[in-house]
Structure 1
Amino acid sequence: MAVEGLVRFRAQHRYYFVFLKKLWKALRLLLSVVLSVQVLQYCEKLLRDVPFEKDINICRKRFAWRNPILGRFEPDWKPFLTSKELFWQDNTPARRQLNDLLQFHVLPFGLNNSVLSAFRTLQLLPQQGMPESIERLRCRRCVVVGNSNSMRGRGFGAIIDSHNIVIRLNNAPVKEHKEDVGEKTSIRLFFPESALPNPLDNNDNETLMVLVPFKNLDFIWAKEMLLKTKNKTVEGFWRRPPSEWKGNASHLRVLHPYVTYEATYKLLQLEKSNKKYSTTGIIALNLALHICQEVNIIGFGYPAVNDNTTPVHYYGREHLSQDVFLMHNISREQAWLLHMMERGMISDLTRPSSLSWGP
């Protein structure tokens, strides 16, 4: 009887052991399923917050500014000016070059004699760097939209709006022309003379308004707009800027002068003695080449020099002014853009044959 009891005990023990082992496997499987579901739900939520291109190949492209043909250096800097940048001391060659540029060049290429004005303006901005909405994009597919009359009646609005980042120039309207130029605006470059009194009239609620400083007065204007100063500065502007600006200070940034310097002297390689600088379109394109993996352009171009009937822009009836040729080198910009397209650095969505390139 003792032997039979021992055998029965061992059999029961083996049964419980096998049962517990199977139960443990089942619990592990159930736990694995629950965790997998939780992870999938978390990833789904994350992907809803982070735009993702269907064409994954575009994410594999290197940022365009790293291409050796642009001749850039890689300092620890960002395309938007910050308070920290004004007093950042670093002994690396790249940082010394950048500091020398800011200290010894006057606007629009440096901050000599304008550091205090820049600092006072930057102190009024709640945020100064790249917004998170752009930083978190996995695939930065960008288009720089020029203001050329070649856009009119072409119906490219949907194509423009399909890009992750849409960069526009100055006070170009979109509401009345959305079929041709789209209505999405991620970034808009402007200066006081080209500012919209109410940016929301032709921009999105989250549009990043980027001030391109060409002179010390531009910082003063921005400061007075943000502080709502009563007696505003009016002298010194080539065109009367808005006396009120209803933009959101949280969405205002200041373009780093190096972006303008680089566009003028490193990309276009203009002679400093000629006192010409790049158009806002090329400056915006240079910004795009810094922050995007794919860069397209559309609406870049002027009518022919002797064309007195075709308006310059897709809006308004203004004709070509000779002042444009005094300040800019349009032929050099045309040659550089064509070279960039041949090298595959940028693409033109229209490639008009009858226009010369410009803003």
Structure 2
Amino acid sequence: MKLEGLLCSKLQCQFSFVSLRKLWKVLRLLLCVVLSVQVFQYCKKMVPDVPFEKDINICRKRFAWRSPILGRFEPDWKPFLTSRELFWQSYTPAKRQLNDLLRFHVLPFGLNGSVLLAFHTLQLLPQQEMPESIERLQCRRCIVVGNSYSIRGRGFGAMIDSHNIVIRLNNAPVKEHKEDVGERTSIRLFFPESALPNPLDNNDNETLMVLIPFKSLDFIWVREMLLKTENQTVEGFWRKPPSEWKWNASRLRILHPYITYQATYELLQLEKKCKKYSTTGIIALNLALHICHELSIVGFGYPDRHDNTTPVHYYDTEHLSQEVFVTHNLTAEQAWLMKMRERGMISDLMHPSAWSWGP
């Protein structure tokens, strides 16, 4: 019995040893696979999106410490309006606040009275979210190019084009001014009165056109342009918009009214009773603060309100109109931009600027 027990114990040990060796080989193989996947993912993250990108981690850190100061909604909130969100019911405080904003405010801060128009317009857009070409960027280095005359003759074109994302405003042309303002356009914010009749003249095929809705007519205009209807609306615009607007609907988005609301009342802290709202430049900057990790500006600012000789824009001879002071608060915008620059949240390529109404 003792001999048989000894033999059984020896056989059991051999079997256990063989099993352990096989198990170790399997574990070693799994470990190699896991390590290989981790190394691949790490290398993929470290591959720069553009040649000048050096340190993605620094980029992420800057974005992380900026967010708490500006305040953000829940992670699944997006800066573009979607069909689903128009009828979005939620009991979380953040989403309920967004719902109330859309329901009880009229444009440009909400969709009270314009929900159906917005919904029917969104049905014409095959895509409503952020494009994958922007979403997949590991480090979004953005620049918002203002239309100030101060950028003219400065030769910032190549520096502007070196950014991941170039954001432009309204109908600002680039073709004849590329040495100063560059020629790449990733995102262009506009409204019907500021739309370019032929967008391809001063945009790329992949440019994302983002409509800032200020009134219900803006949705009607977009629908007429996309559907190419015969009976086109012309009444109710402060300036006649293009009667034809050839653009791919898949590269069109509608800005969420909260971006305009936040830019006006939370960033600039304007009083609601004054009935003023932020300029397109500040709205574009707020959009960039939501989607970009690093943010630069160039071409912001206005001539002195008493200056009747210096043009407002780099592309025309128009002078500063007194109407701008009725609609906007340029002093508040200057103060906010200076504060953002001093805190390191925004860098200005033209610092220091001699413009009295700009950064």
Q: Smaller-chain TM-score range?
A: 0.7 to 0.9
Map of 1:134 onto structure 2: 134
Query: Where in structure 2 are the equivalents of 1:26-105 lying within 5 Å?
Result: 51=50, 53-63=53-63, 67-74=67-74, 76-105=76-105
Identical-pair percentage: 79
Q: CA deviation at 1:268?
A: 0.5
* Per-residue CA distance 1:215-243 (angstroms, 9 max, x = gap): 00000000000000111000000000000
Query: Where in structure 2 are the equivalents of 1:336-347 lying within 5 Å?
Result: 336-347=336-347
Aligned residues: CA RMSD: 2.6
Q: CA deviation at 1:57?
A: 4.1
**Counterpart Cα distance in 2 of 1:315 and 1:305:** 19
* Per-residue CA distance 1:40-65 (angstroms, 9 max, x = gap): 99999998895572233443325368
Q: Which amino acid aligns with 1:252?
A: L
**Counterpart Cα distance in 2 of 1:286 and 1:329:** 16
Secondary structure in 1 aligned to 2:177? helix
**Counterpart Cα distance in 1 of 2:65 and 2:332:** 20
TM-score by length of 1: 0.85
Q: Which stretch shows the higher mean deviation, 38-47 or 317-326?
A: 38-47
**Counterpart Cα distance in 2 of 1:62 and 1:99:** 30
Q: CA deviation at 1:70?
A: 1.6
Map of 1:147 onto structure 2: 147
Are 1:165 and 2:170 counterparts?
no
**Counterpart Cα distance in 2 of 1:227 and 1:352:** 47
How many residues end up aligned between the 2 structures? 328
Are 1:234 and 2:234 counterparts?
yes
Secondary structure in 2 aligned to 1:334? helix
**Counterpart Cα distance in 2 of 1:275 and 1:40:** 55
Q: Aligned pair in 2 of structure 1 residues 341, 66: CA closer, same or farther (>3 Å)?
A: closer
Secondary structure in 2 aligned to 1:67? helix
TM-score by length of 2: 0.85
Contact 1:76-1:95 at 8 Å conserved across structures: no
**Counterpart Cα distance in 1 of 2:58 and 2:183:** 24
**Counterpart Cα distance in 1 of 2:46 and 2:76:** 29
Q: Which amino acid aligns with 2:267?
A: L
**Counterpart Cα distance in 1 of 2:69 and 2:38:** 43
* Per-residue CA distance 1:316-353 (angstroms, 9 max, x = gap): 10000001110000000000110111111101110243
Q: CA deviation at 1:198?
A: 1.2
**Counterpart Cα distance in 1 of 2:189 and 2:144:** 10
Larger Rg: 1
Contact 1:64-1:292 at 8 Å conserved across structures: no
Q: Aligned pair in 2 of structure 1 residues 91, 44: CA closer, same or farther (>3 Å)?
A: closer
Secondary structure in 1 aligned to 2:121? helix
Map of 2:188 onto structure 1: 188
Q: Which amino acid aligns with 2:181?
A: V
**Counterpart Cα distance in 2 of 1:152 and 1:202:** 17
Contact 2:186-2:206 at 8 Å conserved across structures: yes
* Per-residue CA distance 1:6-34 (angstroms, 9 max, x = gap): xxxxxxxxxxxxxxxxxxxxxx9xxx9xx
Q: CA deviation at 1:72?
A: 3.5
Query: Where in structure 2 are the equivalents of 1:178-327 lying within 5 Å?
Result: 178-327=178-327
Q: Aligned pair in 2 of structure 1 residues 210, 64: CA closer, same or farther (>3 Å)?
A: farther
**Counterpart Cα distance in 2 of 1:45 and 1:337:** 35
Q: Which amino acid aligns with 1:175?
A: K
Q: Which amino acid aligns with 1:238?
A: W
